[in-house]
Chains A and B, each alone.
Chain A
Amino acid sequence: MKMIIILSTFLFSTFSWGYAQFIGHGYTSCVNCHFNPFGNGQLTDYGRAVSATAISSNAFYPKSWSEEKISETSGFLFRKPKQKWVRTQLNYRGFSLVTNPGSQSREEKEWINMQMDARLALKFGQNDKFIFAADYGKVPLPAQLDPGESDQKYRSRNLYIGYRYNSSVGVYAGLMDKVYGLRVIEHIAFSRTNPQITQNDQVYGVAGHFLKGDWEGGVHGFIGNYYQDPAYRMKGGSAMVEKTVFNLHRVGASFLNSRNDFVQLTSYAVHGRFNLKEGSALLAELGQTQKKPQDNTPSTTARYGLLQTYLRPARGFYAFANIEYLKNDIDQSDYTVRWGPGLQYFPIHRLELRADIYDTRNFIKNSSMKDSWMYLLQTHLWL
């Protein structure tokens, strides 16, 4: 039965996002491949070409096709765009989720359509100085909405304009992800849930981006997400800085402070992205988030850690592990470790197949319980 679930997901195709681990291919900055200089969102023409020629396998292309030919087919209409100012993208991401596999009483299976959206980017001016980026699509609703969380099934996660003064400096205004930490794809990661930078935590604001020599950074001021009720909108600011070291790796630090009518969050972290060449990489982040209720009840500080390991045995094929640590209250001894080995395969450009196993282990004083397990079998389609 488990094999049937695994095979069924391989019938679908997937699309490729940029991922922070592509530092393993020598890309230290996200601005190389993304319209958003901090990563995520729509790929540029160069990003599509990189996806087709460096990330994805070439095994299913005709042997007579050169890398240049493959690159030319990476455009939206499977050819090089004939104009410079409009770029579009369609995305689908879905996965089969199995929790507590093998348990007769606790096993649960469901298929989740995680993402279905259309994206648009408009570029104007010399060297694409001016950009407009937007997306709109269907999002899954959780089984139980958090207070103030929007119940809209269709929404935008990116809606902004950008101006690049030069190759070093740019400013962006609109709905975007907060500038903080490693922008990893796993939105359930403790490093994303604690500072509230998950898949629906975009905010309206203004962000500045700086890239010069070995240094890159950003600052972001924001007024909340208008899909939420006003009392729940997180307003505040964040900043991130990174430095290239040994011409290969990036080390950095982030800070974020935001508040709504109920809680103030203050997060800070250090992180690193390490290039082990030919697609192999290590990502690491260690941070803390202080949660201070606005009703003067005592605040708590959570500590989290993330280590993502990537090994690329062959072009298009990655073996990885998400290793996470969470202590919900640094004044208590209990903590959680989540270990998630997985496989990621890009058989061809516009297609990603991914299998994850998540093993969550709780370390609790005077108690012990069996690990909880989750299988994720993910497919991505991208046009």
Chain B
Amino acid sequence: MDVLTPDTFMAINIFLLFFFVSTFAWGQTQRSDAFIDMMSWQQEGSVKINNIRSNFIVTNRALCAGGSMGLETATYRSFVDGCFLYGQGNVGAEKNTVTYDQSDISVYGLKASVGSGFFVSSKKAEIGFKIPLMIVSQTYTKPNQASLTEPSPVLLMGSLYGRWPFEKWFFQTEFSKIVGNDFVMFSLGAGYKF
């Protein structure tokens, strides 16, 4: 289920470029905020034990704390954001003839995005697109006499996000397709606007 094709990725880039230009073209206000997100994503690696190769799935969950800076007009907002993430992941082999399971292996890393969106209500409820880049570090157990291909530590994504403000506070959600595979990341968080 790979909907983030090169064409889709290009469309997202054009969309972001439009909103970036729109934000800079009209009178804008500088804004910054801080947030914390609960996030989850999956990755895939492979392991070969006793000459049987199997893919394995890593399901991660983490907290990501950080902030964003950007410019906004009455209608649009363009921004960059970043956060530091820390969490845990569980591992399971896809083939039941291979035993390769782990629980709560630590993961930490950084996530940075560029994005643009527009306000859809007088309360500044917001919808838009982001391009996140995530770099993670996670150590997998390597069984004796086995070969292991770990998942990539770099993840590039295309995201749809939403934001619902309550005065200075806000809720936000993000749903991301990881480029190059069928996996997705989703996150739910809250923040404060300065």
Contacts and interface: CB of A to CB of B under 8 A. Distances in A.
Interface of A: 24, 101-102, 274, 276-280, 282, 307, 309, 311-313, 319, 321, 323, 337, 339, 341, 359, 361-371, 373
A277 B59 contact: no
A274 B162 contact: no
A366 B164 contact: no
A312 B120 contact: yes
A280 B164 contact: yes
Interface in B107-164: 118, 120-123, 125-127, 160, 162, 164
Interface stretch (B10-18, B29-37, B181-189): B181-189
Contacts of A366: 90, 92, 101-103
B1 interface: yes
A276 B103 contact: no
Interface string B35-67: 000001010000000000000111101000000
Contacts of A279: 120-121
B92 A341 contact: no
B111 to A, nearest CB: 18
Nearest to B172: A309
Contact of A312 (B1, B121, B160, B171): B121
B175 interface: yes
B57 A370 contact: yes
Contacts of B28: none
Contact of A280 (B90, B91, B120, B188): B120
A281 to B, nearest CB: 8
Given A278-B122, A280-B121, A368 B92 contact: yes
A11 B17 CA distance: 34
B101 A339 contact: no
Given A311-B127, A312-B120, A282 B186 contact: no
B91 A368 contact: yes
A307 B188 contact: yes
A365 B186 contact: no
A312 B104 CA distance: 39
Nearest to A280: B125
A371 B182 CA distance: 10
A367 B92 contact: yes
A368 B59 contact: yes
Nearest to B92: A368
Nearest to B171: A282
A346 B90 CA distance: 42
B59 A319 contact: no
B166 interface: yes
Interface residues on B, range: 35 or more
A373 B165 CA distance: 30
Contacts of B121: 24, 276-280, 311-312
Contacts of A341: 160, 175
Contacts of A370: 42, 57, 94, 182
Nearest to B188: A323
Contacts of A319: 127, 162
B68 interface: no
A317 to B, nearest CB: 10
Given A102-B182, A319-B162, A321-B162, A309 B173 contact: yes
Contact of B40 (A282, A311, A361, A369): A361
B162 A361 contact: no
B125 A359 contact: no
Contacts of A309: 162, 164, 171, 173
Contacts of B92: 364, 366-369
A369 B94 CA distance: 7
15 contacts: A277-B125, A280-B125, A309-B173, A311-B121, A311-B127, A323-B173, A323-B186, A364-B90, A366-B102, A367-B92, A368-B42, A368-B101, A369-B57, A369-B59, A373-B1
A102 B181 CA distance: 12
Contacts of B2: 102
A270 B173 CA distance: 21
A309 B189 CA distance: 13
A371 B14 CA distance: 30
A369 B162 CA distance: 28
B162 A276 contact: no
Contacts of B56: 368
A101 B1 contact: yes
Nearest to B124: A276
Contacts of A339: 175, 184, 186
A367 B98 CA distance: 12
A81 to B, nearest CB: 34
Nearest to A307: B188
A355 to B, nearest CB: 13
Contacts of B125: 276-277, 280, 311
A227 B136 CA distance: 55
A148 B1 CA distance: 38
